[in-house]
Structure 1
């Protein structure tokens, strides 16, 4: 008899497994990636995004993967910590670099991207990184398609599945199909969504029987089944798995299937999409998954979970970045109750205020800052004393050291320093 996972006592609601990268988003909207001159940095990668998205919606989430022993790896770890994501499963790989992705918004629904993932840290995930006690501490895991593309990461995810099934928890499969990460498209084809492959289909089909929830776009449902049309794909998946299947349909919303698949594609729980401006489609699926998991793991019916998922996806496509732009639960509830007169949700001041107010993670009740940015005043003092003005910078170094000693590493302390005399400080 398996030991059931009790939702009341499991420390974590969900552990996501797989990709973790630094996304560099082009700031010149409507430009080719070749013409981008500046980028905004954020956490990226399907499982990393979902870990942030679910945390913002109130779930206790964790990410299990590897990052490099360098600045980008530390950036991911620190950002996840700020978001309230558990990082006990985030391993540091001293031999490999953290993955990078360069992206641009060239046109509506067109976002060229280049993956810098050659022998990257997260793809080195191995079975020894999967700690049984850590997996067993969660109600569910999310395994992702890309990490079934390599033998080591495939074995790692399958080990996590075995542990979760033995403990009576839930296994969620985000098909997450990126053809060029399976070696089926060139480096410049990072945005390519579908390339038929019997090899990939055969690999993914072996995952399906162990799943409780399977989520994918029409293209992803087809690659996971090996079928050439969506309805046949759904029927093939159903023949292999009793899991709840969620078909993502972009602006059209989604359909949730339990039980037999009929000949009518619409014969499921239909979740309608929201009429919003499509600004950037990248990361929308991860936001969708976050919203669906919030409902599904929270015991809501499929219609509610689908509504939350579609709304979270709408937020994502109406904003530029991935994880940093995902809604909090307060933001989601406000939108569902009040809607928005803006098709571009990023232009809704009321929603933006809630987003800003509810994503400030550090509660600092007081702030003390030592102003040491004086320039003319200290130059006058030096002149009157006949001292070399160059000594002003030495004074400011001493001031910063004194302030740091008083702060002793505690939050709520700061300094105001000028560039002219304070650069050394």
Structure 2
């Protein structure tokens, strides 16, 4: 089977033991491995496809913890480098009663931002592999250049590029810098995943259909538009496909979007979705792919954390079957 390579941040989420209060009022936290690319890599590995992470961790105890957690999740960590020049990134989270969250990040810079383009092996990728990334590590840094090299290399090898902007404005000096970086990298991807909370901010267009249409430029072949518990819509150049969400008792929405992406990309890897086959695969198998991804995201919200909350395939299939029986 082809392999997922996720590039970008891996950090520790400090999850509050109390819900419904502001971050300044939280008195106790528990640590959980996180970072969107790492979450996606862990989901893909858990569902049964090979996955690797391209990043850098600090030579500190938090880095040791994350390396162990990634390995325990089945992620290949041979391309995870270590440095003493910066610490491993941290994120403190506060949870509302409905499981929605706010973040406070500690990385100025963090170790992941120091991964350089010279540390990306241009011969690493093969045809059919998928490179996935987000916008968090697209701030001006060595890591931004590492993204550019990795994207060029995977395309040269015949691989697929997936981009989830995953907007985190507190990490940017201003909102426009974040938006410009996302707009620069969007045309480089074959597949875009974007949420209902991000679409207008990124495109500057309030009408949903017009905004999504504007994303089809450069190499973009498909856009997945997620709407939280309401489900997701898939747009290709040939059609639009809708899949409803799953009703669950959400405890923590951290990592739900990443679990969705992991489930989606797992199915693409299983079908060896090279760029010249992506649209046909999505048009033919959209229902199965979207339902699996929706169930993956939904079940992740029923526990705290991201990687630690990922469901197994048996739980996903059971949830999908239960909806079929009640529909």
Q: TM-score, normalised by structure 2?
A: 0.89
Which structure shows the higher strand fraction?
A: 2
Structure 1 gaps of 5+ residues are: 1-6, 185-194, 261-266, 342-425
Distance 1:339 1:218, change over 3 A: closer
CA–CA distance in 1 between the matches of 2:114 and 2:207?
34
Which residue of 277, 292, 296 maps to 2:264?
Answer: 292
Q: What is the aligned length?
A: 313
**RMSD between aligned alpha carbons?**
2.2
Question: Paired residue for 1:175?
Answer: 165
Distance 1:22 1:200, change over 3 A: closer
CA–CA distance in 2 between the matches of 1:340 and 1:47?
31
**8 Å Cα contact 2:188/2:218 also seen in 1:** no
SS of match in other structure, 1:40: strand
Superposed counterparts of 1:15-414, under 5 Å: 15-136=5-126, 139-184=129-174, 195=175, 197=176, 199-259=177-237, 268-299=240-271, 301-338=285-322
Structure 2 gaps of 5+ residues are: 272-280
Residues 367-407 of structure 1 show CA distances to partners (whole Å, capped at 9, x for unaligned) of xxxxxxxxxxxxxxxxxxxxxxxxxxxxxxxxxxxxxxxxx
Larger radius of gyration: 1
Distance 1:137 1:129, change over 3 A: farther
CA–CA distance in 2 between the matches of 1:239 and 1:61?
28
**8 Å Cα contact 2:104/2:170 also seen in 1:** no
Q: Per-residue deviation at 1:237? A: 0.9
**8 Å Cα contact 2:46/2:312 also seen in 1:** yes
CA–CA distance in 2 between the matches of 1:165 and 1:326?
29
Bigger relative contact order (CA 8 A; separation at least 6)? 2
CA–CA distance in 2 between the matches of 1:137 and 1:117?
35
SS of match in other structure, 2:179: helix
Question: Paired residue for 1:344?
Answer: none
Distance 1:58 1:158, change over 3 A: same
Q: Per-residue deviation at 1:109? A: 4.6
SS of match in other structure, 1:160: helix
CA–CA distance in 2 between the matches of 1:240 and 1:221?
18
Q: Per-residue deviation at 1:339? A: 5.7
